[in-house]
Amino acid sequence: MNRTIATLAEWINPAWGRHRTVPPMDAGLRANRRLDEAAELLTPGTCEPDDVVVTDSGALLFSTGHRIVELSGGQPRTLAECPGPVGSLVCRGGAVIAAVEGTGLVAVETASGTVTELCTDQVVSTCVTDLAVLPDGTVLATVGSRNHDARGWSRALVRGDRSGLIVRLDGSRARVEAQGLAWPSGIEVASPTEVLVSLSFDHRIELRALAALARPSRPIARNMPVYPGRLAAAGDGWWVAAPYIRNRVTEMLLDEPEVIEEMVATVDPEDWFVPRLRCTNPYTDTMQMGQLRVLGEVKPWAPARSCGLVLRVDRTGRVVESAHARVDSARHGVTGVAVSEGRILAAAKGFGNLLQLTDDQERG
């Protein structure tokens, strides 16, 4: 009924219509080639880095498949094998805490590689998107969805899923602190009393009080042109991984639930027109008409399906710098970011890259 009333109201007065819009990438988000010019730390395609961290001792670790890998002397070395796909990583003391799909959270000793189960509560057994360690050692986790696994981002997007959680670890148990969130994809300590949270489907980054994580928050960045992901503290702000880019075609589809239902029912998920970590423009791609693909060539004005982008926001939410890859680049799908001694490390899962940038302040 609400849909019918909204359609009728828009027909009577088009100005009453409410549709999604995608803001332009301007100011600190202006296009550049910094990701394309970044140093490659891995041979592309040998791994699929999902997240990256730097330990207190300076060791560089990243997750790929079922493994946690240490990059030493330019060569990858398996530190630990886990029982399922490894996603988010966070350092705590001499260990790295890892989210293992289908298992929960495990602790890996960085010296020996010993794996110990930390929390296997059902709440954190699947779709943990990011982890943060508070000053007192408490671990917070974001769970993207209760209805989908970690690979179900696109399906959750078209379904309008809002079952995400913020979870606090209490010993070996997980306590839900906030629920009903639109795929929370990143969490980082902002101050002794607050954390920063990325909400992917709301295109927003917000501050939440540690004492009341379920209460309404204070947005610092809203209506972003990307779906924000994991966060990494950096001086007076944070670096943000942007694994997916918004485009007007997807936004139009999300405004039409009937079209979405038909697409889900009749089209293979691989051919849905939704953002992706990587896009190779196969001949089965949906963009065949409207002069977006002519004689097999994708035209420059075709909506972007994937992107390579990390960005830095200050404490007011202003984007102060960013690093982009070209539309046709093989450095798309940045799912993890870490900062260490002026280096920005980006895990570009889309095409299997681990990249190192130099802080823009040092370049300039």
| 180-236 tens-digit pLDDT | 999 999 999 999 999 999 999 999 999 999 999 998 788 999 999 999 999 999 988
**Which residue intervals of the chain are DSSP H helices?**
2-12, 34-37, 153-158, 248-254, 257-266, 360-363
**Percentages of the chain per state (helix, strand, coil), in multiples of 5:** 15, 40, 45
In this predicted structure, the answer to whether residue 304 has a pLDDT above a threshold of 90 is no
Complete edge-to-edge strand list for the sheet that includes strand 319-325: 231-234, 237-241, 308-314, 319-325
Judge whether 149 lies within some domain: yes
User: ∠ CA(96), CA(102), CA(103), 5° rounding?
Assistant: 45
In this predicted structure, the answer to whether residue 364 has a pLDDT above a threshold of 50 is no
In this predicted structure, the answer to whether residue 328 has a pLDDT above a threshold of 50 is yes
**67, containing H or E segment:** strand 67-72
Chain-centroid distance, C-alpha 263 = 24
Helix (H, G, I), strand (E, B) or coil at 41: coil
Judge whether 290 lies within some domain: no
User: pLDDT digits over 36-91, tens only?
Assistant: 999 999 888 789 999 999 998 889 999 999 999 999 888 899 999 999 999 999 99
Find all residues with CB under 8 Å of 15, minimum gap 6, and list them. Answer: none
Judge whether 68 lies within some domain: yes
Which comes out higher in pLDDT, residue 249 or 221? 221
Which comes out higher in pLDDT, residue 129 or 257? 129
Place of tokens 């089965």: 284
Q: Which two tokens stand for residue 281?
A: 């423009």
CA separation for the pair 312, 319 (Å, rounded): 6
Torsion of CA 66, 72, 74, 78, to 10 degrees: -20
> Strand pairing partners for 189?
195
Q: Which two tokens stand for residue 155?
A: 């399906």
Judge whether 12 lies within some domain: no
How does DSSP classify residue 85? -
How does DSSP classify residue 161? -
pTM over 0.75: yes
CA separation for the pair 231, 229 (Å, rounded): 7
In this predicted structure, the answer to whether residue 1 has a pLDDT above a threshold of 50 is no
Judge whether 19 lies within some domain: no
| Domain extent for 104 | 34-279+298-356
Chain-centroid distance, C-alpha 129 = 8
Helix (H, G, I), strand (E, B) or coil at 23: coil
Q: 306: number of CA atoms within 13 Å, CB side?
A: 20
> Is the CB of residue 119 less than 8 Å from the CB of residue 104?
yes
In this predicted structure, the answer to whether residue 154 has a pLDDT above a threshold of 80 is yes
The DSSP result for 204-260, as a single string, is EEEEEEGGGTTS--EEEE-S-SEE---EEEETTEEEEE--EE--HHHHHHHT-HHHH
CATH number of the domain where residue 133 is located: 2.120.10.30
Chain-centroid distance, C-alpha 355 = 16
CA separation for the pair 140, 196 (Å, rounded): 11
φ and ψ at residue 281, rounded to 5 degrees: 50, 60
Number of domains in the chain: 1
Mean pLDDT of the chain: 87
How does DSSP classify residue 263? H
Judge whether 119 lies within some domain: yes
Judge whether 257 lies within some domain: yes
Place of tokens 């959750």: 156
CA separation for the pair 325, 243 (Å, rounded): 12
Judge whether 340 lies within some domain: yes
Q: Which two tokens stand for residue 303?
A: 């909506």
